Structure formats: C-alpha cells, structure tokens
Structure 1
C-alpha cells in the first residue's frame, strides 16, 4: 500500500503540483458539530504531513503557537489529524451557518514535497447555544451570542468589575483580565492580540480564544482537579454608559489516571460555571458523541464524587488506540482522543455547552505474552503456542537451540489470528528433527528431548527487537536401536548409529550376544567406534537362513536381535533378506534334509545331460537341471545314503551317478568320458542327535556341515576303493538352537579327509527299520 500511495503522489507532483483525487483511505475530511476534521494516514515516507490554511490574504502555515491562537489543533495518533474550529482564523463564515475551509496538505514523497489543495464546506448540525466553550488540546475558545438579555439581578462583584472600566477615559474597545486574586489594568484589543489572544465578531457571535499557559491566565484546583482559567472582560465606554461582555473560559487540565482493572479515568469539576442541577453529559472517542446511558451500556462509567464527574473508559473501547514499543521489554500505551460535551443551565435558564477534547495516554504498561506447551507425546512432536501478541507486533525470527528456523512461515510456524485484535504463533518441531537436543536421562531411563526457543518480535515501523524465550522438554521411552541393512553380492551389511541409550540393549545373533570375539569366530567383519557399529556378514557364515533354492538363485535371510539387557526380552529385530546366486551349494538341515546344487560339468560325459543323473537310489533323480548343474533335495536317510558314525560326529553320504543302461541290480555303468565323481556329505555332531535312534523322525540341535567332493572315478575292477578328493564344498555349522529348522549354505574348502564306503550295506535302510543300538549301527557302517 505504501508503494501505491507514494506512486500516486509522485504522479501528482509531475503533473501540476496538486491532485484532484487521493486514494481511498489516505484522506478523510468530515464536518463535526463545531469543527472540521481532516485525517491523513501515516503512509508516507519522510517527515509527517503538514497543513496550510488558505484565504484571500494568502497561505498560512498551521504550526505551533499560530495554530493555538487561530483555532487549529494537530495531533498524531496512528494518523495525522487536523481539527479546525468553525471560528478559526481563515474560515469564510456566512451568517454563522455556513463555514468554508481551504487548506493545503503538504506531504513528502521520496524527498520531494508535494502539495494537495483541500476544501470543505460545513454547516453545524446543532443550533448554537447562547454560550459555548471549547477546551481543545492546545487552546480555549468561548463564543457568546451577541444579543443577550440582561441578567435577572446584579451582584456586588459586578460593580467592583465595573469601577475600573468606567474610570477608563477611552471609548475604544478594551479588555481587562482578572486573575484569581487581582484585576489587571485594561488594555486595548490590539495589544491583547499581539500577546496571543484572539477577539472576533461574526454576524451573531463574539469569539474569544486563548492558548494555554498565557501570562494572564491562572491555574487553580477545584475539588482536587487542576483547572486553567482565563477571565476576560471586554468593554467600551460610550458617554454615560458602558458596554461590557464577560468572557470566561475554565477547562479541566486533568491528565487522566489508570488502574489495573483496564480503565482510563478522566475528571472534571461539575461546577466550573454557574449552573443548576440540570446537567447533561455526552461522551465518546474521536469526535463521536453518545448519550450517557448509551455509553454506560457499552462499558463506560460516569460517576460523581464530591461535585466531581469521573469518566472511566475501558481500554478496549472502540475508537481508542494502543501502541506497542520496546524499551528493555515489551510495553504498550493506550491512547484515547476523548470528546466530551457538558450542557449546563444557569439560574436564568441560559444554556452553556462545554466541549472537551483531551488526548489521554496511559503510562507504559508491560505487555505480557504467554506461551503454552501443547505437546502431545503420542504425536512425537513439540507443539508450542505463543499467544496474546498485539496486532502491531510481528514475529521476525525464531531460534531453536541456537539455530534459526529459516522456513518459519510454513514448515515450523503457523500464525493464528484471534478475535480480540491479537494473534499468536504455533511452533511445531518433530522430536527427531536435527535441531532438537536429544539426551538420555539415566534418572528417568528415558530419552529427553529439549527445545530452547527464542522468539524475535518487532513492532511494526519499529527498530528495536523484543526477545521472548522459553524452554520445553519431553520424555519418551528409550527406543531400541534399529539397524540399516543393505545387500551385496557377497553378503549383507548392517549399520547402527549409536544413541546415548545403547547401553540398555544387548545385540545378539540368535541367542549369542554379538561381540568382537563372536564376530571373529564366525567370520563376520565388524567395526565399532563412538559414532556407529558396522557389521558385514559374508554369505555362508553362521546365522543365515536360506529359502526358495533354485538353480537361478536363493534367498538368504539374516536377523539381528535386540534384547533388553536387564531382562533379556526381545525388544526388536532387524531382518534382511537378499537374493543370491551360486554355482554350487549344499545344505544340511536340522530336520534331516540334504539340499545340493552340484556342478556336473566333469561328471557327465560329453554329449550327456544332468537330467540323466540320480543318487545312490536310482529312483532319486534331480528336482531341477540346466545345462551343467542339477538340484537334489532328499532326506538324509533315503536315496541310498550311507552313514558313518564317529566318536563325535555322524556323517551321511551320497553320490550323484550318471547312467546309460543297467549293469547289475543296483549299479549303473558310467558313460565314457566322465572324469570325476560328485560325492555329498552332511556331518552332524553326535551330541546333538541324542534322539536319532529312539525316534523315526530325524531331529538335530544344529545344522549339519555339508561337503561336496569332486574326485576322480575309481579304477575298474577294484573293490572298496580309496577316494582322493580333488575339490570340495563345505558348509559351516550354524549357531546352536533347539527348534529352529534352518538350512546352511556352503563355503569352499581345499582339503577333505578320505572316506571309506561300505559297498554292501545301506545305513539309511537300517535307520528306517528302527535300529536303536550302537552295535546295530556299527553293523551298517564301516568305522
């Protein structure tokens, strides 16, 4: 808006130095009961706007003492306001009924003065009373009807006033001022005018005006209320009679008082002038008058105490102003342009109307803003409300824990407008926002989130900032840590950023706590510093679970468990499943199933296909094949498996055969060109198989260790050959557990022990028949 106003006046200046129109809201001219009012908003840069009065004699600047002498009053409260009495110096008056005003408004636009011509014609809305007194902010004015009837009686005091008047030898009009205790010598009106007084005569009224603080005025107290009085008697001696007019103005100079209940009170003596009890008061702000009952209905109070009238105005009265400012704190002033009319009747029923214009200002009152912590823990977010912010105060910045919120208007801060001409701001910051200070409270065994908030506020058009601070804190349960997990071709990596509450939790793989010793034992790669824990789990190491095994690949899953250190209860876990590929693998499960993906490149003759392979039992063929590989999955005690019992382990062994035709009952002839045999073994700790020979169902406490052996084929004609391995694939043993049915996948080894296989015994068959003693086992297995 300021740009619009400024641009408008610049265009005016370029044109003719004046304008016929002004933008709406910039200028307001209005005729009131006894004056014209011009209001100009403070929307211009540079010095405040000023006024000039214009008449036939020229242009007259309305400033200072000249304004008080000539009936002008200029005030600055939220806007610049000029009040000009209908009897002001340069007004064109016609029969006391039509008053024409001409002014120049001078504004400063970008360092250049621009003049605008104003004019207004007014007619009083109320008839003139015989005597009217105006107590303006900078002058006193009284006007009386020029034709008055004689009073009903003459007092002794009137004769004492008349004596010096009668003794004056001149017939010119003179004035004599009376002080509280003495009468001053008469002086010519021309002399009085030079001393700052104004005397004027219209067609029907005599006007006398005096600025406050003249040497011939005096101050007194009436019922404890300060009053300024100017008592002038204008007279002229004509032969043996005297024409004399008594002009007296008395104005309450009460500055107003205020209380903690939200009221501004102004007082005036009830009997500044002789009157009866028939007194009427109208009151309002900014020139708008209301009858006393109406004013009292909307919160005003009018009371009489010891012949003194007390007018109480509520701080929130419509038409008042409040102004904020910063001075070692946030303060506010309430400003009221009081307008009051008091109507009196004297003993002759002659009416006197006294109009008061007073600017009442409270002392600086501290303005208290309030903050409310509206945080709801379930939302995991701070919600803080700053309220009761005056309408002329705006939020300039917000700092949280020393960091400025750069997106205060949208992401963090929301402005809330209230119906009582105030507003507020809602601050929302998530608990996990980087600006929040997060510490673990050992005393509360919880995470402590803290915000130290510093609001920076400024008054509109002000320079000094005001800082309002507060701190909020929230406690939340210490959350168990959660790992970030990523897949790679060779395994899975887990990362954990350390938190102050980490000491509450134990991290484990299965039932074993993760330590550097465990990582080394199992082949994990672990680094742990003050910032984070990084664990890389290579494929085929202990702890993996494998599913959906095909020749195209398989899914490997690794789980990290977080337990409460004090109770060992599982709090959370991080499970990561990745897709892997492998040329060969072997798995030996706890429930007695061997799963093998074998490379048969050298075990199948040239031109042959892996589809024509089988295990020791000719009915056990592959479940899936491609050009060079075959997938077998079968129970350990089936498909012609052979069993070897050692002191600490039991070994299940089978072999992949390629056949073209039958040679004997359970034997196949290999095709010419096969250069190796493929033997698979699953080795289980004997201690974990304590139920093996008492139940038909295979059940192991641990996964077995699987081995795939690629060897040269046996020499024809030899029985019980000794097998020398060329390459081997072996699985590692998984962590000990009772009920988890897990499959382990393989790692490559370079050395495998020689194994002697009994040619005419079938250990799986013996197991199926329910062998229950070690001697029976030894009959089926060659030790």
Structure 2
C-alpha cells in the first residue's frame, strides 16, 4: 500500500506564532521492561511494544498515562483519533501496540518523546496492572512535511518555517475565511468542491485531532470519516481528507492547509499450482504521482530514477522495512523483491517464501491450511515543485488468502534393504510431529524410527525407517511363496504455539517373493529319529515347535533330545521313547514311531507347515500309556518264566485277558486301564494304574514268585474328563514302567517315559480295583460299553512357555 499526501501553508502572521500559542514543555522518564513484555523499540517515527499473549491470559488492555498521571483507556475508537494502533498477532503469539510520536498523551519536544502505558492483564482471574515507560528520540531529522498512514488512521505534520506556495488557487478558501463571522480557530473541510466549516471543538468531537508539539503542527484523522472521500489513481483507491485550519483577524487571515491521502489498495496475489511457493507472489501497488481533484493544487514530482532498461527502480527515494528491519537494495534483490513502474503506479512483488514472510497454519476439517502475512513499512521521499521535501510512510499488514497445503507421504522403500522407508511432509516451521501410530502401536517423539529432514524454504519433513522384521510391522503370506509386509501410519501433528492438532494417514506395503517355510530332512536309525534343517534367508519368520512347546536348547535338554545349532544348519536327534513320539502298529517284531515338528509364524503363532517323520523300530520291551486310556505292553518273560513255560498261556490279573501276540519268550498285551483286573491308586497329584502279567494262575494263592508288574502313571490335573464326565481322556501321555519279580531277580524297567514331573510317592488312597471307568466311555442309561482297544496310540502334552529360539 502507498502513503500519499501533502500539506500547503498560507500564513499571514507566521506559523511560529501559532506554535508558540499551543506548545508546552515536558519531562522524560523511563522504566525497566516488566514481565510479559517481549520487546519495546523506538522506531523512526513511532514507538512499538510487543506483549506475550500467553502471559496475559489472552485478555489484555492498554491505558495511556499523561505527564500528570491521568490514565486514558485506549479503546478502538479512541486509539484511531489519538495516534495509537493495537494489533493482535496470533501467529506470533503476541499483541502489539504502536504509538505515534505525536500521540495524544506522549510527552513531546523536538528531541525526545516519552511514552507511558499501563498494561492490564488477567492473572488467576484478576486484573493486574503493569507500568511501562519508554523515552525515544527521532533517528532521522524531520522533513518539512511528513505523512504517516497507519492501519487505522492518517497523520500529517509540518514544521514552522514552511513558505507560501508559489501558485494561487486559494480564492474560494480565502473567501470562506473572510466571510466567517468569528475570529477563533476554525476548520474548513473540502469534499469534492463542497466546503464544510466547523470549530476545532466540533472537529475533535467528530474524531479529528489537531496537536502542536515539538515545533510542528499535527493533524490526524481516522479512516472512513464522513468528510473524507475516495479517489482512484490509475486503478488504485486512495482515501483523502482535506482540512484547512484558519483564523481571521480583521482583514488578515492566518491559514494552514492540511491534506493527507493514503492508499487503500489491499494487494493481489499470484499463485503456483505446485507445492512450492517459488512462483507465488504478493503484489502491491501505489500511485507514484498523486493529485486528488482540488483546484489550484499542483502535482507532486517523484524523484525516481527510472534510467535502467528493465524498469526496476533505483535510488534512495524508496525504502522498505519488513518486520521492522530496513532492507537495502541488494537485500531486496537477493530476496526476490521486484519493483516495477507501470504507467503512474509503482508495483512491488514479494515472493511468498522470501525471508521475513510470516507463515500462519491452521486446521479446517483436518485439512492443513496456511496463509502468509507481511508486516510492511514503506517510505517514499520526494519534493514538490516548490522544492518542499515530503516523506511518506506506510505501515500495513498484507495477508494472502487462505490456501490448503496438504502433507503427503512418499514410499521410498527399497526391497533389498528389508526396511520400510517413508517420507512424510513437507511441514512448515510451526508444525511438529508429536505422536506416531504404526499398526496400532503408539509412540511419542522423539523416536528412533524418525529422522528430521530440513528443507531450504523454511519447511521440514520426516523420514520413517522401520525394518521389515520389526515387531510393529504386520506380515502375512499373500499367496504361497509371496510374503507381504504392511505398515499403517497415523501421524499426529501439532501447530505451535496454539497447540492445535491434526493427523495424516499413510499405508505402505512391500512384497517379497520366493519365501517358503523351513523344510526339515528326516533320518531313521535303530533307536532314534534325526532331523536336519539348513538355514536360509527369512527363516527367522518362523519358529519350530514340538507339540505346543517352542524348540529351544533348554527344551531339548529337558526332554532328552540332542540338539546342535550353528550358522549353517540345525541338527536334532530324538531318542526313541522320548516325549513327543506317537506309536502305531505295535507288534512283537516291530512298531512304527512318529515324531512331529510344527512350523509356526513367529508373530501370529499360526501353523504354517507340519513335518512328520515316521520310522519302523524293532520291538524289544515297552510300556505305552496312551492319552485315551490304553496300556500296551511288550514284555520278555524269559527270566520270569519256569522251564518249559509257554508265554501264550500268560494272562493279566483277570484270566480272561490273554496276550494279543506271543512267541517263544515275549508277549503283547493291549488293554483298557480300567479293565483286566487293574488296580488304581492316587499318589499326591498322580493317578497310578497297575496290572500284572501272570505266568501261572495256580500260584496266585501263594506268594507269586513269577510275575511281571506293569503300570501307567498320569498327572491328575490332566484327567478332568475322568472325574467330571466319567470318560478317560488325558491331557498328557502316561509314564509306563515294568517290574520283574522272580525267585532269582527283581528289576524295574521304564520303557516309555512320559512328563518327568511324574514321581509316585506317598499313597493317598489304595483300592483293589480302579474306578469303574473304561476308555472313551459313552454315558448311557444302561451299563457303559467299553470301546475296543486300538493299536494307534498317541498323546498330547501340556503347553510350557520356553525361551525363544532362533534359526
């Protein structure tokens, strides 16, 4: 925006006499900076004080204090008339008050000006008054005529030694003064050819102010008064107020002509469609030669140097301040400011992203918006044809329209790095990332996943780096051999200093091909099954389980496995009759033993693959206690059988229970635990089922010299169905053992080990016969019917949490 205006003087007695009548003397004072006041500065022609809004509780007001200690509340109407301007700057988190050197209650003389204010703020719901004093001196000598255009008022001051204008054109004004019936000071307003007289008192009641101070006469008028008018100068609107101050003494008239005009151009804007502001500009125009319609007033001649070919202005006639800092011509050029004359106007283009622009961010419906504000102070120095120097000053806040600036995310992931890399941004300097959610896991900043990226245009972004194997990354097999990783990102951002929040969502996926679960090789030996797994990339995505237990070195040791794991391969040897085996097709000569390894997803624990190795082993002696209540026994009776005895004639305690198979020395029995004369007892937390292989039933009435005792031991917690549903179903396989009692030898053989926690100790209850339970008993109205024993024997074991084991 542009300040334009001039003042002409006709004085018949002399302006020094006028100034001597109105002037007063003052004294200067100062005080320290109080809390909450960010800065107090003396500028070229005004005083400025900035106050922290957070300190004031966002509720504050100002009072002016004069030399007598009287206070005046600076209301919106009062500040425009008295030379004050209060501006709230939310983007800076502060309020600012500016006061003209000739403001109403300032103590004034030619060399110094004393400002006194009361800052009234709210603290804990109560008003607290802070006193502020500041003494300022002009930085530059006063020009004969000075015009200032503030945001809410126009002001002109003239010094006393101004000469009369060389040309006429004052006939109508002089005639109006001569015919005035009074000799007191009066004001004559001119508005498009109309003359409106009034007294000084009447003018002040309408908001106009006349002041004599510091050797100068000052006239101030708020914008939009009825006696001002708008003139268009090459398309630029200019508000003009023209007042003539006069006093008649007989045939002599003392007259001071005051005219001030200020550009009301609010600026225009040019945009770039890209995210960059390099092609977006704030454009502002002002007249170079201002001559509002008034007869007899000559145009003002601008002292511009337009000699360069590109049309840009040079010389010392123009000065631009941004945020209170004077910008030298080389600085203007470096920041991209362009000043060009078009017809009779000066056009200034300011890049949005130039240094000194204030960016303001806000959120509307979770969409990030921003605008730019330029706190501009513009000065133009020129002479009229009477060679009277005039200095124009403009203070304006130029704001761009609201513009959305959405953040975006860029997937920069490289599959070979096995890591998600995502760029988030760009964000302006007053926006910061505070919380990141990844697949529902919340993290606060600072965060080791995040690195800050600074850009040269005063914006920044963030790079998120998360390895595929990180626990926050979800993975699943898109199809066989194709592993898909996914990361859902929710970024919570905050605009400072208001701490307004919004969020930005992003999702990234990556697919790896040729990814298959580990595959074991199996090998059979006479007394064990061995496994081998060669380590390959991505095997860490899975874990090996034995039943519900994670395969670890500790688990292998506890269960009696032999495990060796190096960088090349995993080797596992499982001796026969260790926990985890399943037995099938048990015969006197051979039986099948199977061992199963389950491959599970390392994160979800879902079963991905199952590897079962089955081997055929020669049968010697064994006792298998199945989970469905069957005891299968292969016993060698050679040491207990009398000479010439026949194993096929042996029985269990119930003589009806005879061997399924027999040869010259061995027998095979398979029977339900609750049948064939079995006994049952509770020993602490174990249930024990016993039976005997009897070689000669006739000897049962005497001490049995030739018997083989077989038993199965089950943990009671795993037999809940037995006690609740009267149906045998164990969560654990039993521990089997065999004891030989003969005249010559007594020996005990554990031929199939169940969980090692089973240790029969003190008997709690003993009974000659077990509970009336049969394997897989179906309850009915009649007598329970036992199921025929099966030769397909297998069991399950309790889940035990183990330490993690890596490939």
- Closer, same or farther: CA 490–264 of 1 in aligned 2, 3 Å: closer
Report how far residue 131 of structure 1 moved. 0.9
Q: Where does 1:18-37 land on structure 2 (aligned, <5 Å)? A: 20-22=32-34, 26-37=37-48
- Closer, same or farther: CA 727–277 of 1 in aligned 2, 3 Å: closer
Report how far residue 232 of structure 1 moved. 0.8
Deviation string 1:110-144 (CA, Å, 9 cap, x unpaired) is 32332222111111111111111100000000011
Say whether the 8 Å CA contact 1:296–1:302 is kept in structure 2: no
SS in 1 for 2:470: coil
Residue 237 (1) aligns with residue 248 (2): yes
- Closer, same or farther: CA 333–21 of 1 in aligned 2, 3 Å: same
Deviation string 1:212-243 (CA, Å, 9 cap, x unpaired) is 11111112221111111111111111211222
Say whether the 8 Å CA contact 2:562–2:573 is kept in structure 1: no
Q: Which residue of the partner structure matches residue 331 of structure 1?
A: 369
Looking at structure 2, the residues matched to 536 and 182 of structure 1 have their Cα atoms a distance apart, in angstroms, of: 106
Report how far residue 381 of structure 1 moved. 2.1
Say whether the 8 Å CA contact 1:227–1:252 is kept in structure 2: yes
Looking at structure 1, the residues matched to 284 and 141 of structure 2 have their Cα atoms a distance apart, in angstroms, of: 28
Residue 364 (1) aligns with residue 433 (2): no
Q: Which residue of the partner structure matches residue 142 of structure 1?
A: 156
SS in 1 for 2:148: strand
Looking at structure 2, the residues matched to 188 and 222 of structure 1 have their Cα atoms a distance apart, in angstroms, of: 32
Say whether the 8 Å CA contact 1:267–1:311 is kept in structure 2: yes
Looking at structure 2, the residues matched to 182 and 400 of structure 1 have their Cα atoms a distance apart, in angstroms, of: 73
Residue 58 (1) aligns with residue 70 (2): yes
1:264 pairs, out of 277, 282, 291, with 282
Report how far residue 194 of structure 1 moved. 0.4
Deviation string 1:717-766 (CA, Å, 9 cap, x unpaired) is xxxxxxxxx999999xxxxxxxxxxxxxxxxxxxxxxxxxxxxxxxxxxx
Looking at structure 1, the residues matched to 408 and 87 of structure 2 have their Cα atoms a distance apart, in angstroms, of: 34
Cα root mean square deviation, aligned:
3.8
Q: Where does 1:208-247 land on structure 2 (aligned, <5 Å)? A: 208-247=219-258
2:388 pairs, out of 338, 347, 350, with 350
Looking at structure 2, the residues matched to 332 and 271 of structure 1 have their Cα atoms a distance apart, in angstroms, of: 36
Residue 125 (1) aligns with residue 114 (2): no
Residue 319 (1) aligns with residue 394 (2): no
SS in 2 for 1:242: strand
Looking at structure 1, the residues matched to 414 and 45 of structure 2 have their Cα atoms a distance apart, in angstroms, of: 61
Say whether the 8 Å CA contact 2:31–2:132 is kept in structure 1: no
TM normalised by structure 2 equals: 0.58
Say whether the 8 Å CA contact 1:46–1:111 is kept in structure 2: no
2:606 pairs, out of 531, 535, 539, with 531
Looking at structure 2, the residues matched to 259 and 27 of structure 1 have their Cα atoms a distance apart, in angstroms, of: 34
- Closer, same or farther: CA 347–202 of 1 in aligned 2, 3 Å: same
Q: Which residue of the partner structure matches residue 414 of structure 2?
A: 376
SS in 2 for 1:207: strand
Residue 88 (1) aligns with residue 134 (2): no
Deviation string 1:236-262 (CA, Å, 9 cap, x unpaired) is 112112221111111011111221223
Say whether the 8 Å CA contact 2:437–2:443 is kept in structure 1: no
SS in 2 for 1:244: strand
Q: Which residue of the partner structure matches residue 201 of structure 2?
A: 190
Say whether the 8 Å CA contact 1:302–1:312 is kept in structure 2: yes
Q: Where does 1:126-525 land on structure 2 (aligned, <5 Å)? A: 126-154=140-168, 157-179=169-191, 181-260=192-271, 261-273=279-291, 274-279=299-304, 280-292=317-329, 294-328=331-365, 329-401=367-439, 403-418=440-455, 420-442=457-479, 445-462=481-498, 464-477=500-513, 478-481=515-518, 482=542, 483-484=544-545, 485=551, 486-488=555-557, 490-492=559-561, 522-525=592-595
Deviation string 1:684-724 (CA, Å, 9 cap, x unpaired) is xxxxxxxxxxxxxxxxxxxxxxxxxx9x9xxxxxxxxxxxx
Asked which structure has the greater RCO (Cα within 8 Å, sep 6+), the reply is 2
- Ranges in structure 2 where 5+ consecutive residues have no aligned partner: 1-29, 272-278, 292-298, 305-316, 519-541, 546-550, 564-571, 575-579, 586-591, 618-638, 641-739, 753-807
SS in 1 for 2:325: coil
Looking at structure 2, the residues matched to 287 and 730 of structure 1 have their Cα atoms a distance apart, in angstroms, of: 96
Q: Which residue of the partner structure matches residue 677 of structure 1?
A: none
Say whether the 8 Å CA contact 1:130–1:145 is kept in structure 2: yes
- Closer, same or farther: CA 54–475 of 1 in aligned 2, 3 Å: same
Looking at structure 2, the residues matched to 489 and 369 of structure 1 have their Cα atoms a distance apart, in angstroms, of: 56
- Ranges in structure 1 where 5+ consecutive residues have no aligned partner: 1-17, 495-507, 511-515, 545-600, 603-709, 713-725, 732-783
Give the count of matched residue pairs.
515
Looking at structure 1, the residues matched to 387 and 218 of structure 2 have their Cα atoms a distance apart, in angstroms, of: 22
Q: Where does 1:40-51 land on structure 2 (aligned, <5 Å)? A: 40-44=51-55, 46-51=57-62
Say whether the 8 Å CA contact 1:492–1:537 is kept in structure 2: no
Looking at structure 2, the residues matched to 134 and 533 of structure 1 have their Cα atoms a distance apart, in angstroms, of: 81
Say whether the 8 Å CA contact 2:339–2:346 is kept in structure 1: yes
Report how far residue 286 of structure 1 moved. 2.3
Report how far residue 476 of structure 1 moved. 1.3
Looking at structure 1, the residues matched to 318 and 421 of structure 2 have their Cα atoms a distance apart, in angstroms, of: 52
Looking at structure 2, the residues matched to 158 and 108 of structure 1 have their Cα atoms a distance apart, in angstroms, of: 55
